[in-house]
Structure 1
Amino acid sequence: MKNSYRAFRALIVVAHIASPFAGVHSAFAATPPAAHAKSGPMISKALDALLLPINKGVIKKFKLDKGAHGVLVLSVKPGGVADKQGIKPGDVLAEVQGHKVHKPIDVDVAVRRQLKAGHSDMSFSVARGGAVIAVAAIITLESYNDTIAVSEISSWETDTTVSSSSYEEYVSVESTEIETSEESEETTVEEDLTQDESADADSSDDADDSSDDNSDDSGDDSSDDSGDDGSDDSGDDG
Structure 2
Amino acid sequence: MSGKERWGDLNVRLISAGVMIALGIVLLWLGGAAFMLAIWALAGAMVWELSRMLGGRAWAPGMGVIAALALALAWALPVWLAVPGLIAVACFGAWQISERRVLFGAYAAAILLACHTTILLRIDAGTAWLLWVVCVVVATDVAGYMAGRALGGPKFWPAISPKKTWSGTIAGWLAAGIVGIAFGIFLGAGAGLMVLSVLLSIAGQAGDIWESWIKRRVGVKDSSNLIPGHGGVLDRFDAMLGATLLTGGLWLFGLVPGIS
Q: TM-score, normalised by structure 2?
A: 0.26
Q: Which protein has the larger Cα radius of gyration, Structure 1 or Structure 2?
A: 1
Q: TM-score, normalised by structure 1?
A: 0.28
Higher helix proportion: 2
Higher strand proportion: 1
